[in-house]
Amino acid sequence: MDFTFPEAAEKFRLEVREFLKKELTPEIRDEYAHCTDYPHGFNKAFTRKLGQKGWLTLTWPKEYGGLGLDIWHRLVFDEEMAAAHAPVAAHQVAANFVGPALIHYGTEEQKKKYLPPIARGEATWAVGMTEANAGTDLASIETRAVRDGDEWVINGNKMYTEHLQDADYYWVLVRTDPSAERHRGISIMVIDMKTPGIQILPLWTMDGYRVNQVYFEDVRVPADAVLGEVNRGFYHLAMTLNTMRAAGLGGWTETRRDLEDLVLYAKQTKVNGRPLIEDEWVQNGLADFMIHNQISRLLAYRVASMLESGGPAPDRETAVRQVWTKVYGQLHVKFACDLIGMGSQIGHHSPQFAPLAARWERRYMGAIAGAHNGGTPENALNTVALRVLGLPR
């Protein structure tokens, strides 16, 4: 097997590194490390700079503001951004979730209106699927949209929407035909956040991360707010979720960077006069962590190569990758906290007193809360059991 990236992509890697060296200022790094509203950093000005270079939409067709490049360029970009801890929250939903869905299902007017601002890094989007009674089982959503002349009137509520406090647009799943079989009466709608009738309330996860509860009261949107076919939204969503799960393929580099810092910490920190790294359990734990990180890298490359070859959606592979990252992610943050000891309990609000700037305390909390984000590991395990291993239901 050859894991060498194409020459053009490796050349691009140097360009991205050079850019990040210059543009990722200590202030932006600091914001990324300590802001809890956005664990992956939110910086509109930085996102706009990426947009000016066309790097948010590297693989989109040129007619929609993309650069028409291959997946390896995108992977290189994701890897360098993640390794450098560069902020992505101002654009990742728009560029990696909403944009591809619009390209696939949008009308020409919708594409002309929404895609260029996403490509330029000027528009922030949030996605509202989850409700109090519909998380994993999204076909249970209850938020209703009723047709009234040239408009739809939306009533109901959503839970756990991230980024909405700064979003320009909200991409939501609504029930448009309550009499239809539950998967068949759902549509996707785009709501301009300036529309009256939307109330958002913060909801904090255990790692102090802000998500939102959202209430719609007679929110009126035009008829053309529907994305794709009316009542086919559930099926459009299934395709879009596959795209989303294939995003963030460079995430393993962020973990690798953290792991390298942890190895250094184990070498430099003495307990009872001996460097931690000399303890066998530390050596085994670090080796285990490194092996799992390397496997995460290979799973990411597998998904990328499937996307590039234009074959079937890598849904099984993304499920395996999801299980791997989420389940092992939780084991490794625990190991890291054990290694750091009592100091790992000092929270990220006091980074000056904590080993490794309290990063692992935050990772520990985040690994538990964040496991739900984008689908739970149990759900991914079901996919692996049914579709990869062929086990009976």
Residues that bind ligand FAD (CB under 6 A): 127-130, 135-136, 160-162, 205, 209, 211, 369-370, 372-373, 375-376, 378-379, 382
**Closer residue to ligand FAD in complex, CB, 155/376:** 376
Q: Which residue has the tokens 């970009």?
A: 77
Question: Facing residues of 346 across strands?
Answer: none
Round to the nearest angstrom and report the end-to-end CA distance of the chain: 35
Q: How far is the CB of 371 from ligand FAD (least distance, A)?
A: 8
What DSSP line would sit under 323-378, residue for residue? HIIIIIHHHHHHHHHHHHGGGGGS-TT-GGGSGGGGHHHHHHHHHHHGGGTTS-HH
Q: Is residue 81 classed as helix, strand or coil in its secondary structure?
A: helix
Task: Dump the DSSP string for 164-213.
Answer: GGG-SEEEEEEES-TTS-TTTSEEEEEEETTSTTEEEEEEE-TTS-EEEE
Our CB check for ligand FAD shows the closer of 107 and 136 to be 136
Least distance between ligand FAD and beta carbon 95 (Å): 15
Which of 158/297 has CB closer to ligand FAD?
158
Residue closer to ligand FAD by CB (options 98, 300) is 98
User: Closest separation between CB of residue 382 and ligand FAD, Å?
Assistant: 5
Instruction: Provide, rounded to whole angstroms, the least separation between the CB of residue 205 and ligand FAD.
Output: 5
Rounded Cα–Cα distance for residues 130 and 240 (Å): 15
Residue 175: how many CA atoms within 13 Å on its side-chain side? 21
> Among residues 118 and 266, whose Cβ is nearest to ligand FAD?
118
- Distance, in Å, from the CA atom of 85 to the CA atom of 29, rounded to the nearest integer, reads 7
Q: Which is nearer to ligand FAD, 13 or 92 (CB)?
A: 92
What's the min distance (Å) between Cβ of 132 and ligand FAD?
Answer: 8
Angle at 139 between CA 232 and CA 379, to 5 degrees: 120
Least distance in Å: CB of 155 to ligand FAD? 18
CB of 167 to ligand FAD, least distance (A): 10
Smallest gap from residue 163 Cβ to ligand FAD (A): 7
* Tokens coding 43: 């910086």
Helix ranges (DSSP H) in the chain: 7-23, 26-34, 44-53, 71-83, 92-93, 99-105, 108-119, 233-245, 252-268, 280-308, 315-323, 329-340, 359-369, 377-383
The least distance separating ligand FAD from the CB of residue 100, rounded to whole angstroms, comes to 16
- Specify the residue, 37 or 279, whose C-beta has the smaller distance to ligand FAD: 37
CA distance 236 to 101: 8
Nearest residue relative to ligand FAD (C-beta): 135
Closer to ligand FAD at the Cβ: 50 or 138?
A: 138
- Six token digits for residue 35: 């802001």
Give Cα separations from 340 to 185, 272, 345 (angstroms): 51, 14, 9
**Residue environment code for 200-220, b if the CB has 16+ CB neighbours within 10 A, otherwise e:** beeeebebbbbbbbbebeebb
Q: What does the alpha-carbon distance between residue 97 and residue 59 come to, in Å, rounded to a whole number? A: 13
Nearer to ligand FAD, 251 or 375 (CB): 375
Min. distance of Cβ 37 from ligand FAD in angstroms?
12
Nearest-angstrom CA–CA distance, 86 and 69: 22
CA distance 129 to 101: 14
- Which of 290/369 has CB closer to ligand FAD? 369
